[in-house]
Amino acid sequence: MEVRRERRLFVQCPVSIEGNQGVSRGTLFNLSTCGGAVESQVPVQSGTILTLRVHIPSQDQPIEVDKAEVTWTCGDDFGVQFLQLGPQERERLNRLIETLLQSIQQRRSHQARPS
The answer, yes or no, to whether residue 59 has pLDDT greater than 50, is yes
- pLDDT above 60 (res 2): no
What is the structure's pLDDT at 86?
Answer: 95
Q: Average of pLDDT values for 20-49? A: 94
Reported as a pLDDT band with limits 50, 70 and 90, residue 108 is confident
Structural domains present in the chain: 9-109 (2.40.10.220)
Q: What is the 3-state secondary structure (H, E, C) of 6-64?
A: CCCEEEEEEEEEEECCEEEEEEEEEECCCEEEEECCCCCCCCCEEEEEECCCCCCCCEE
Query: Is the pLDDT assigned to residue 57 strictly greater than 80?
Result: yes
Q: What percent of the chain has pLDDT over 70?
A: 90
Q: In sequence order, what are the residues at sequence separation of 6 or more whose Cβ sits closer than 8 angstroms to the Cβ of residue 26?
A: 14, 15, 17, 38, 39, 40, 41, 42
Cα separation, 93 vs 7, in Å, equals: 14
pLDDT at 58 over 90: no
Round to whole Å and give the CA distance between 102 and 55. 20
Q: What is the mean pLDDT of residues 70-80?
A: 96
pLDDT-derived band at 1, boundaries 50, 70, 90: very low
CA 42 distance to own-chain centroid: 17
Query: In the structure, what pLDDT confidence band is assigned to residue 106 with cuts at 50, 70 and 90?
Result: confident
Phi, psi torsion values for 26, nearest 5 degrees: -160, -170
